[in-house]
Amino acid sequence: MVSPSPLRPSQSQAGTSLLSSSLSAHVIAAISPQIASILTTSESLKSNVEDLAKLKSDMEANSENTSTTTSVSAAATRAEQATNVILNSITDVKNALLTARAPSNQPNNPLSYSAVVRQNTQTPAPVSAALLRAAIKEHQILIELALGGRLYEPEDSSVDIAKKSKNTFAAISDGESPDIQIKATTRLRNGGLIVELTTAEAANWLCIPESILKFMGALDSLVFIKEHRFTIIIPFLPITSDIEDAEWQCAAEEENNLPTGSIEAVGWIKPRIWRSPVLQGSVTPTRAPALPTPAPALLDSPRGGAPPAPRKTAVWTAMTRPLAL
């Protein structure tokens, strides 16, 4: 029987190394799937964390949009409420217009002829145009140099004239004067100037004597503002009317709602001395005649009384205020 020979040290080391390498390879091969699974799980966790962060951002954005939507909804609700209020107001106004109020009990005072004419006569288109022209004239002033000079030079444009006039008006204005704004200017051949202002108050203020003196001082020239006079013809006026009497003129102004002093002079178209003796009656009128608005003024005699006096035509010269023609 042959006994085994002992191993050499070199052989023992080679066997140990071979065994270690084999064991390492087996261990690595065994745990490789687990390591791969761990890596996959780690990547999945990382992806999930990113998805969660994105979801959080989306939720915050949705929250902001929700608040904005709520604000828009509230604004729409308020707008709808305001619209309902406006519609209700329109309905109330419509109902108020459709439901006419009963006329108040007016005192049974006798009305004058002119008052009845004004109530029962519609203003025709030509009269409306005349009223419009009169309203424009209320805003105008006519300025002329008393010594025949010129308020402007021939080469001056309308803009230059308006600027010069505005500077002059600003120089004479004070704390109590109204706002003076120029709307238009018109040059006259004689060197005068018609200035249209935006308000009648400004025109009235410039026409008072104190303002004219200030204007003369600002221009260093003697200027004047022409007065606006116009003639009114009254047909069929009783010839026995004492038209020269001051009380009669005041009564006519009061009845026709004219300012005191509007009637400057009154005269007959045919003087009294030229009338025939038949037309010189002695019937005393009961009241002053009314100005024609738009019909002529007539003086009615009492029913059952004396016949009316003969009627002729009178000319009234009335003056409103200093104003441009």
pLDDT in tens, 156-178: 888 888 888 888 888 888 878 88
Which residues of the chain does CATH 3.30.70 include? 124-225
**Is pLDDT at 282 greater than 70 in this prediction?**
no
Could you tell me if 320 and 136 are in contact, meaning their C-beta atoms sit under 8 angstroms apart? no
- Secondary structure in 3-state letters for the chain: CCCCCCCCHHHHHHHHHHHHHHHHHHHHHHHHHHHHHHHHHHHHHHHHHHHHHHHHHHHHHHHHHHHHHHHHHHHHHHHHHHHHHHHHHHHHHHHHHHCCCCCCCCCCCCCCHHHHHHHHCCCCHHHHHHHHHHHHHCCEEEEEECCCCCCCCCCCCHHHHHHHHHHHHHHHCCCCCCCCCEEEEEECCCCCEEEEECCHHHHHHHHCHHHHHHHHHHHCCCEEECEEEEEEEEEEEECCCCCCCHHHHHHHHHHCCCCCCCEEEEEECCCHHHCCHHHCCCCCCCCCCCCCCCCCCCCCCCCCCCCCCCEEEEEEEEEEEECCC
Residue 90, number of CB atoms within 10 A of its CB:
10
| Neighbour-count burial of 41, counting CB atoms closer than 10 A to its CB (0-12 exposed, 13-18 middle, 19+ buried) | exposed
Query: Region 271-293: what's the mean pLDDT?
Result: 54
Query: Region 103-108: what's the mean pLDDT?
Result: 52
Query: Region 272-293: what's the mean pLDDT?
Result: 53
Query: Region 190-213: what's the mean pLDDT?
Result: 84
Question: Would you state the pLDDT for residue 320?
Answer: 41
Question: Would you state the pLDDT for residue 72?
Answer: 65
Cα 297 versus chain centre, distance: 39
- Please provide the average confidence, as pLDDT, over all residues in the chain: 69
Question: Would you state the pLDDT for residue 295?
Answer: 35
**Is pLDDT at 16 greater than 80 in this prediction?**
no
Question: Would you state the pLDDT for residue 265?
Answer: 75
Instruction: Quickly name the fold that domain 124-225 has.
Output: Alpha-Beta Plaits (3.30.70)
Backbone phi and psi for residue 17, each to the nearest 5 degrees, phi listed first: -65, -40
Question: Would you state the pLDDT for residue 297?
Answer: 39
**Is pLDDT at 180 greater than 80 in this prediction?**
yes
Confidence of residue 226 (pLDDT cuts 50, 70, 90): low
Backbone region of residue 220 per phi and psi (left: phi > 0; alpha: psi in -120 to 50; beta: other values)? left
Q: How many residues does the chain have?
A: 325
